[in-house]
């Protein structure tokens, strides 16, 4: 499954996760550049491979339009390394 979405200046590219064949990876871009967390790592989100395209689109739309939701995910990703 390869999906691409654009909302509010964000672009989302969803495709097979090269690390796990049974997952979908969504990579996020802002204004044409990779969107990064507080450590400068690209922000990505992985989903089970059987997820419906509508659910991926819902995540992308919410990430782009809901600042509180976006900030929560950024903090979780930033702290996940510690």
Query: What is the per-residue pLDDT for 2?
Result: 78
45-55 per-position pLDDT tens digit: 999 999 999 99
Query: What is the per-residue pLDDT for 64?
Result: 97
51-69 per-position pLDDT tens digit: 999 999 999 999 999 999 9
The residue that leads in pLDDT, 77 or 8, is 8
Beta bridge partners of 13: 4, 27
Query: What is the per-residue pLDDT for 82?
Result: 59
19-47 per-position pLDDT tens digit: 998 999 999 999 999 999 888 889 999 99
* Global pTM value: 0.86
């Amino acid at each position: 499954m390869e999906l691409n979405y654009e909302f509010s200046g964000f672009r989302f590219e969803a495709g097979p996760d090269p690390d796990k064949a049974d997952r979908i990876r969504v990579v996020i871009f802002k204004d044409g550049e990779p969107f990064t967390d507080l450590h400068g790592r690209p922000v990505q989100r992985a989903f089970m491979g059987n997820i419906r395209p509508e659910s991926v689109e819902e995540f992308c739309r919410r990430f782009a339009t809901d600042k509180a939701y976006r900030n929560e995910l950024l903090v979780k990703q930033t702290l996940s390394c510690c």
